Structure 1
């Protein structure tokens, strides 16, 4: 509990910023969903067949997995607030549309006939009779939609839109339960508070309810929309994959860029997600730079030749293959790589390895029938992942997919006995694990380097010079220690990155 309160106090400014971002995203989404859902219901209220079709369509929208929808939107509208809002609007349409439709179709026919007898026009009847009578059901639909939006908006953090999801993802990544709880509790409290306010409005007089609801929605939404459309200063956006290591690297990039030009505005997007999210965002110029690894380039991003996959190819040659292919196939510039090789590793508990005399991946054949592997989806689908373990090592054991941030917790608690990792992971040291020797050379070399579009590189030669100063630096031991400081000692990635750059004389007087 002490750790929870200390984290809450130390992160209070970040929390307030995240709450405000969360409210803006949620209310902008709600406003747009209302602007679509309510008119649609009015349009089809007297056309039962069309109403049924639209109800089915909005119902189908809610069955689309949120991560899949975000992944589909990134190549079209990029990253950040826009795809997050689109996804949230899609999910909010059903309760708003059906709430409005149910409210309007549930009106006593005798009241409709009385309005007609008084000679009211269609518009007059709608405003003076139908809407007031339908309002409780309509507001109930809005209330349900808003609660759903606030809960789902935590996923916006996966695509750099901010909000309370940043706290949850960061907590999971750093094994910091306090941060995860703070994000989850704050999101739940927001949903309860806004649900309570709308519930009270349901019981209020119509004009006061409508005026208050409009105020609650329009003020934050207006600010959010204004911030989204106003001309923004030119910025350099640097994104990183999930985990402490990409977070450290992008903070290094930021410091190196600021050293050559302190006027540059650098925006970091940590914990951005899987490789495909970042690569698509880079192709669509929604981000400018992200750290990528030679093995990932050759195995997942480009179309390499058989020669490039030959066993024993020197790391320098692999990098050159990756650099040339990225340039030719995608018009991207791949800068010089760092020293360490952050290759894949098959990881088991040291106690399990000692008990069964397992030192290499091939030795797993002794216990193949007892293995349960927990791998992230990317490893399961890669030829240099589980598929490679099957083809090159002849291994075929039970597996289950899991979030990369949870796999080490799972192996430590005994829920699985085998997982994928990286050679620089701090958890190998933290949980007394062992990375098995890849005696048949399944995993290629993974040297990291900044990746960017060539147009960006040509416009920013100073940035190229600055980032190339990292080439040849950072050993595997250095990187594992920095990961340990962030994940276990709970130091910030920014301070760890700056400390390394300063102590290795890469950052200093020129700034």
Structure 2
């Protein structure tokens, strides 16, 4: 019980992460993690159920000459079965919720809809995953409550058929592995649902590749360890350099410009008059190569965002000692990847050194929807956003307009700047300078071996094989 209790305290996402070096990505690590999470309620209820049996019953069984094994299986387990099944019901409901997180490591499931919806600012997608998951938990709990009321002889017959059910269910994970292309791709939930993502790859390139949905937190490592051949990455990500990956040329231009800039509530600019001028100190200061290097230091060298941010500001003569002023508190938000942590920390240092405002950072807010909703609800004053995300994930204009403006970074910026101001009273400040667009990536060695240097080359290679 002690071991099961300790395992239960490990956060579910961390537990899934620990499984990857041992079992890779996909269903196997997810199943093992779910098994570990099921242990504590089942073990605890089994123990409580057995020790709670009246001692007179077990003493009578001994007096009749029954062995310890006979007492366990013919007396104790049947009498404890209602309590044991209560533990199984608890474990089942817990595991339905935890199972949605398995989509982070390419195990599929309803979590793909939930995390895709969070990333794409799509409430319907979130509900499409959350409602069935809730219903599944209720249905399974109801079925187990019926089983709990059966007598032990009937229950034993059901348990005897359980191995057959498990074998049939396992086929759902075995059969798909026999299908698909020679190469395997891993795309993030957000990438899967975007026109400048998997949808665009299919419509513009006709790309057909065996695909799994995976979190960007683990997909680079999965590509490096040859679990995946192609991934949807970000053009300024430091793990490109760390894991020896190559960006495939987007020769049909489906990825629009993703120039980063802080987006700020108009009410916050009025409340903090010095804020806009301070944030614009960073305008044009970070190029693609500089951002890639900063990301490399956090992603691969494991330096803290605070250290990376301070070193950058010192190098560019933008660092000032914090004033420790007594002004109002500026709340900075960020999404849940390294680049955003760095930018949030840079802005925090700039505000503390150039104004009398205090700073509160709310980092790791998840996808676009969470950050944007937090901004609209005045939970944060600003966060770094990307013009392509503002265009496609938030504004969502008609496809014709997207095609017309997305080829030009200045047109894209001017459009999102005006629309955000009109619709949401949110101002896009001057761009920071770098373009962190989506990109398809392969290992450099594999790219050279297959002679695949562009997305069209990848499509042609798949067609031949």
Q: TM-score, normalised by structure 2?
A: 0.70
Relative to structure 1, the CA distance from residue 363 to residue 447 in structure 2 (aligned partners, 3 Å threshold; closer, same or farther) is closer
| Higher relative contact order (CA closer than 8 Å, sequence separation 6+) | 2
Q: 1:308 is matched with which residue?
A: none
Deviation per CA, 1:378-433: give whole Å up to 9, x if none: 358744x1232245674662111322230101111222211121122223545353
Deviation per CA, 1:274-326: give whole Å up to 9, x if none: 3x3111121222222123233223xxx2xxxxxxxxxxxxxxxxxxxx6xxx3
Residue 237 of structure 1: which of 177, 181, 184 is its match?
184
- 1:206 is displaced (CA, Å) by 0.8
The answer to whether the aligner puts 1:92 opposite 2:38 as a matched pair is: yes
- Mapped partners of 1:296, 1:465: distance in 2: 19
- Mapped partners of 1:433, 1:258: distance in 2: 37
- Mapped partners of 2:458, 2:277: distance in 1: 37
Relative to structure 1, the CA distance from residue 382 to residue 202 in structure 2 (aligned partners, 3 Å threshold; closer, same or farther) is closer
**Runs of 5+ unmatched residues, structure 1:** 1-54, 260-264, 302-321, 471-505
- Mapped partners of 2:360, 2:348: distance in 1: 12
- Mapped partners of 2:327, 2:445: distance in 1: 50
The answer to whether the aligner puts 1:204 opposite 2:204 as a matched pair is: no
Relative to structure 1, the CA distance from residue 373 to residue 153 in structure 2 (aligned partners, 3 Å threshold; closer, same or farther) is same
Residue 413 of structure 1: which of 377, 384, 404 is its match?
377
- 1:195 is displaced (CA, Å) by 1.1
The answer to whether the aligner puts 1:74 opposite 2:20 as a matched pair is: yes
Alignment RMSD: 3.6
- 1:100 is displaced (CA, Å) by 1.5
Residue 166 of structure 2: which of 212, 218, 221 is its match?
221
Q: Pairwise mapping of residues 171-210 of structure 1 onto structure 2 (< 5 A)?
A: 171-210=117-156
- Contact 2:265–2:426 under 8 Å retained in 1: yes
Q: Tell me the matched-pair count.
A: 378
**Runs of 5+ unmatched residues, structure 2:** 283-322, 395-415
Relative to structure 1, the CA distance from residue 350 to residue 469 in structure 2 (aligned partners, 3 Å threshold; closer, same or farther) is farther
Secondary structure (helix, strand or coil) at the match of 1:73 reads helix
Q: 2:65 is matched with which residue?
A: 119
Relative to structure 1, the CA distance from residue 123 to residue 60 in structure 2 (aligned partners, 3 Å threshold; closer, same or farther) is same
Q: Pairwise mapping of residues 204-353 of structure 1 onto structure 2 (< 5 A)?
A: 204-212=150-158, 215=161, 217-218=162-163, 220-229=165-174, 232-233=178-179, 235=181, 236-243=183-190, 247=194, 248-254=196-202, 258=206, 266-270=209-213, 272-274=214-216, 276-297=217-238, 301=239, 326=241, 330-336=243-249, 340-350=256-266, 352-353=268-269
- 1:200 is displaced (CA, Å) by 1.8
Q: 1:433 is matched with which residue?
A: 426
Residue 374 of structure 1: which of 333, 337, 340 is its match?
333
Q: 2:346 is matched with which residue?
A: 388
- Contact 1:75–1:280 under 8 Å retained in 2: no
- Mapped partners of 2:110, 2:85: distance in 1: 25
- Contact 2:103–2:112 under 8 Å retained in 1: yes
Q: 1:361 is matched with which residue?
A: 279
Relative to structure 1, the CA distance from residue 460 to residue 221 in structure 2 (aligned partners, 3 Å threshold; closer, same or farther) is farther
- Contact 2:245–2:442 under 8 Å retained in 1: yes
- 1:155 is displaced (CA, Å) by 1.2
Q: 1:496 is matched with which residue?
A: none
Q: TM-score, normalised by structure 1?
A: 0.64
- 1:459 is displaced (CA, Å) by 5.3
The answer to whether the aligner puts 1:457 opposite 2:447 as a matched pair is: yes
- Mapped partners of 1:175, 1:93: distance in 2: 36
